[in-house]
């Protein structure tokens, strides 16, 4: 049973939130040379609870709408398969999703009490967008934008909790983190194209078509690297943030493979894996670059 819950929560995808919180903490350490450890732990716990909530509710709604029963599941796409396989009841997954949402909200409310209205605004956005993500947000074609905003708010919120300040640095870093996560969502929507479209879902890939989407793919790394390079040039980011550029070969290979494989779900699996690897390594290297600058 435990393995089933780990599967439906999509543990490996929670790493995106770990990276987002880590970036916020690294930036606050770089600028203040101190970290409130208890606040850091609570922040991470709250963010992970909210992330788990959106994944659970997404599985629930995709099953209820018949999307997960109408798609060919791969290692990287098509949902977790837990509900179509009957391993859990839909009501169990829904209640768990709401439970994590409440848990994350309680932790967030603590920071609203301590840190004020800024965290309240971020928490309010998170609660509403998480609950409506799998219906209203995805159906309107705003999923990639939502994920980018989510990443930005996690980094900014983490930074603000530690420093009580809002600066351009965590905002730009948050956009980088958000775009990296958005890219993963974008690439994994290719195999789900037909199932999503048949049930009224409107992803970015559906909006522009698969072939055009292979060109749009490049926008994500361009924004990512562009912001990092600009940040270093303006001295908003430490110079060692440029270590993220070592992942350029990975994303180039992913983009080339996508052009050849976008019509074949089986061939798309390695492309999705490479893109996920690019996203996670680039995010992790951003943390390393920030911390290494402090040590240096």
From 104, 21, 119, select the one nearest 56 (Cα to Cα): 104
For residue 9, tell me if it sits in a domain: no
For residue 95, tell me if it sits in a domain: yes
Q: Which domain holds residue 84?
A: 14-295
User: 53, 91 in Cβ contact below 8 A?
Assistant: no
pLDDT of residue 218: 97
For residue 6, tell me if it sits in a domain: no
Task: Dump pLDDT digits (tens) for 47-101.
Answer: 999 999 988 988 888 888 777 666 777 666 666 777 877 788 989 999 999 999 9
Range 64-95 burial, b when 16+ CB lie within 10 A, else e:
bbebbebbebeebbbbbbbbbeebbeeebbbe
For residue 2, tell me if it sits in a domain: no
For residue 8, tell me if it sits in a domain: no
pLDDT tops 90 at residue 179? yes
The whole-chain average pLDDT of the chain stands at 89
Q: For the ranges 42-51, 84-93, 153-162, 191-200, which has the lowest average pLDDT?
A: 191-200
Average pLDDT score over residue span 251-266 = 92
- What is the domain count for the chain? 1
pLDDT tops 90 at residue 134? no
HSE (side-chain half, CA atoms, 13 Å) at 253: 13
The conformation of residue 246, written as its DSSP 8-state character, comes to: G
For residue 112, tell me if it sits in a domain: yes
From 175, 172, 177, 157, select the one nearest 39 (Cα to Cα): 157
pLDDT tops 70 at residue 296? no
pLDDT of residue 292: 84
Average pLDDT score over residue span 112-140 = 85
pLDDT of residue 142: 80
The conformation of residue 136, written as its DSSP 8-state character, comes to: I
Task: Name which residue leads in pLDDT, 79 or 238.
Answer: 238
User: 294, 29 in Cβ contact below 8 A?
Assistant: yes
**Which of the four pLDDT bands, split at 50, 70 and 90, describes residue 216?**
very high
Q: What is the pTM of this model?
A: 0.92
The residue whose two tokens read 């970290």 is: 35
**Which of the four pLDDT bands, split at 50, 70 and 90, describes residue 143?**
confident
CB atoms within 10 A of CB 226: 12
Task: Name which residue leads in pLDDT, 59 or 109.
Answer: 109
Task: Name which residue leads in pLDDT, 152 or 295.
Answer: 152
For residue 289, tell me if it sits in a domain: yes
For residue 7, tell me if it sits in a domain: no
């Amino acid at each position: 049973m435990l393995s089933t819950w780990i599967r439906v929560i999509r543990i490996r995808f929670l790493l995106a939130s770990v990276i987002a919180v880590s970036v916020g903490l690294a930036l606050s350490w770089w600028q203040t040379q101190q970290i409130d450890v208890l606040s850091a732990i609570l922040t991470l716990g709250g963010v992970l609870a909210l992330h788990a909530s959106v994944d659970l509710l997404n599985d629930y709604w995709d099953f209820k709408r018949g999307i997960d029963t109408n798609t060919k599941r791969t290692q990287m796409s098509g949902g977790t398969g837990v509900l179509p396989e009957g391993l859990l009841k839909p009501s169990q997954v829904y209640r768990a999703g709401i439970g994590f949402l409440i848990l994350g909200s309680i932790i967030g409310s603590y920071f609203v009490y301590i840190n004020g209205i800024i965290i309240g605004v971020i928490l309010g956005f998170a609660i509403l967008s998480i609950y409506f993500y799998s219906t209203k947000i995805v159906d309107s074609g705003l999923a990639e934008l939502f994920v980018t905003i989510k990443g930005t708010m996690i980094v900014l919120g983490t930074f603000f909790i530690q420093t009580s300040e809002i600066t351009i640095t965590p905002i730009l870093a948050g956009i980088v983190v958000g775009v990296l996560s958005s890219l993963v969502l974008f690439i994994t929507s290719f195999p789900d194209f037909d199932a999503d479209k048949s049930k009224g879902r409107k992803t970015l890939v559906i909006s522009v078509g698969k072939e055009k989407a292979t060109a749009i793919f490049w926008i994500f790394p361009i924004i990512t690297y562009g912001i990092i390079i600009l940040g270093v040039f303006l001295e908003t980011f430490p110079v060692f943030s440029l270590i993220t550029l070592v992942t350029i070969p990975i994303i180039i290979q992913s983009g080339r493979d996508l052009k050849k494989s976008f019509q074949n779900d089986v061939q798309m699996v390695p492309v999705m894996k490479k893109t996920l690897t690019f996203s996670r390594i680039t995010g992790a290297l951003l943390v390393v670059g920030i911390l290494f600058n402090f040590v240096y």
